A and B are shown apart, each in its own frame.
Chain A
Amino acid sequence: MIWLGIDTANMPLSVAIVKDGTILAEVNSSMAVNHSLRAMPVIEELFATVQLQPKDIDAIAVSEGPGSYTGVRIGVTIAKTLAWTLKKPLFGVSSLKVLAANAVYFDGLICPIVDARRNNVYAGVYEFVDGGLTAIAEDGHFAIENLLDVLASKERPVLFVGKDVAMHEELMKERLKENAVIAPFPLQLPRASSLIFIAQQSGQEENTHAFTPEYRRIAEAEANWLMQQRKDQDNE
């Protein structure tokens, strides 16, 4: 089985080709470059490196978000187009679970974090149980303060993973005291090989045409519209 994995959900870019449980090639980067400029060239380059044709792959795994709306859509669009036209199965995996996979042997809670501006984060809470990652709480969009309060109440060590952790490190240590553990920099970036691993272990095949990102937030215009609808209803 040959797998292609793609993660463009946030600033880091990761693409991997895995064959029968071996990483043939993987590219990881974290630069402020539009994914539309880099993602397809990196994919093309990776196929050339491992001397495979697009039709040689057997399955595709993609990071489905949450994260940057535009970023996640680029990866998802590429993945679903490849899966559809090559007639290969498509697997979507949480971008946060991919980050959590960097820290699987941690004894405690694993909290992958992606900054969402204005003191908000996308975050999940995972635990490594019986050789796999179990979600303790659903991935979501949280005010960092609220998230840390909930984590503090668990009274367990929490490992924070992700390159945006540094932005909130002080607050984490203030709220969780010695229970706040910060993952070192080699564990900062999501890896497409982990994405493939999770898809193989616990992934569910997607309906390719219907597959869309997990935004974990409705668009602002839609939120405003819903609020207006409710107001109108109350006034009636």
Chain B
Amino acid sequence: MDKDMYILGIETSCDETAASVVKNGHEIVSNVVASQIQSQQRFGGVVPEIASRHHVEQITLVIEEALAEANLAPSDLDAVAVTEGPGLVGALLIGINAAKAFAFANGLPIVGVHHIAGHIYANQLMQPMEFPLLALIVSGGHTELVLMEKHGSFKLIGETRDDAAGEAYDKVARVLGLPYPGGPHIDKLALESDEAVDFPRAWLEPDSYDFSFSGLKSAVINYKHNIEQKGGEVNPSHVAAGFQQSVVDVLTEKTSRAAKEYGVKQVIAAGGVAANKGLRASLDAVFEKEGLPFYVPPISLCTDNAAMIAAAGTSMFVSGKRGTMEMNGRPGMELVSWND
């Protein structure tokens, strides 16, 4: 790259209103996130209509702050990258229409980014990606193993057949009476616990890289039910530890097996659940033993943010991808390679 390239990223696919400027696809110049967690906690989960209402309140402020922190004017930008999907459609539409209006007003090109491509490219903000690369994406909406042979090339080798890992965390947290979002609470209880209930692991077929967490969730509910029927009391820490061990074991084993089979040079984890300390420790240990570089972005880049969207958007922009003023929210968007 001869000249520095600045891309504005915008992300509103769920309950974070975020904007960021990224330089040359890997250097964060600004990264602003307005979270709705406090408001959404009242409902024990994200209510789509509430999320959309918050986004429309925050969107221009967040973009303005991202530009101000970067000390850049719109005319200094090369393009606008925005999350096109998947996500909550009403929420996506706020970021998309703000991005389109901003791009139109300032004569900038626009790029529509897949949210998961964003999570993967969060790693590019920490260290250069090396290919072939295996990415484990774990969040409230996704549990996927993706193989990348080069930039912008994605091959799905495994995914959840029912609940996403983060969804299972939230549901089990609710069963244990823990506040929303449940993941961090279970993680904390699990790490403090000296004992763990033995829950099953869903390995599926021996050669499968797919995941399943709904059986585990049911096992937790049944366990609690049985104990309570006998007049006993459930120890939430022991349940959390057992549940977390089951999830972490399956994620670690499948990721490690896929890394070997595909002979990758680098393994990365991404998505909100990648912030889980138990999962990080387990993956760290396995890949250290195998001598394979394993990276997880810092927590602020694991949870939803716009820097990751700008990073992925830069790769798309460089490959010549462009969106149009007709861009719509795509709640069920599939991850498609932009560099075949």
Cβ of A43 < 8 Å from any Cβ of B?
yes
Cα A77 to Cα B60 with chains together (Å): 8
Residues of A within 8 A of B325 (CB): 40-41, 43-44
Cβ of A74 < 8 Å from any Cβ of B?
yes
Chain A: which residue is nearest B62 at the CB level?
A: A209
| Residues B59 and A81 in contact, CB atoms below 8 Å apart | yes
Q: How large is the interface on A (under 10, 10 to 19, 20 to 34, 35 or more residues)?
A: 35 or more
Binds B, one of A15-23, A124-132, A217-225: A217-225
Cβ of B74 < 8 Å from any Cβ of A?
yes
Known: A70-B90, A73-B52, A212-B57. A54 touches B327 (CB 8 A): no
Cβ of A194 < 8 Å from any Cβ of B?
no
Binds A, one of B41-49, B134-142, B289-297: B41-49
Which chain A residues numbered 60 to 84 have a C-beta less than 8 Å away from chain B? 69-70, 73-74, 76-82, 84
| Residues B50 and A219 in contact, CB atoms below 8 Å apart | yes
Cβ of A85 < 8 Å from any Cβ of B?
yes
| Residues B328 and A36 in contact, CB atoms below 8 Å apart | yes
Partner of B97, one of A36, A210, A220: A36
| Residues A212 and B101 in contact, CB atoms below 8 Å apart | no
Interface of B is mostly: helix
Residues of B within 8 A of A81 (CB): 59-60, 63, 97-98, 101-102, 105
| Residues B64 and A213 in contact, CB atoms below 8 Å apart | no
Cα A208 to Cα B90 with chains together (Å): 21
Partner of A77, one of B64, B101, B327: B101
Query: From residue B60, how far is it (CB to closest CB) to chain A in Å?
Result: 4
B47-70 vs A: 1/0 string, CB under 8 Å?
101101100110111011000000
Chain A: which residue is nearest B97 at the CB level?
A: A77
Q: Which residues of B contact A (CB under 8 A)?
A: 42-43, 47, 49-50, 52-53, 56-57, 59-61, 63-64, 74, 89-90, 93-94, 96-98, 100-102, 104-106, 324-329
Q: Which residues of A contact B (CB under 8 A)?
A: 34, 36-41, 43-44, 54-55, 69-70, 73-74, 76-82, 84-86, 208-210, 212-213, 215, 219-222, 225
13 of the cross-chain contacts (CB-CB < 8 Å) are A37-B328, A40-B325, A43-B104, A70-B90, A70-B93, A73-B94, A78-B98, A82-B104, A85-B74, A85-B102, A86-B105, A222-B47, A222-B50
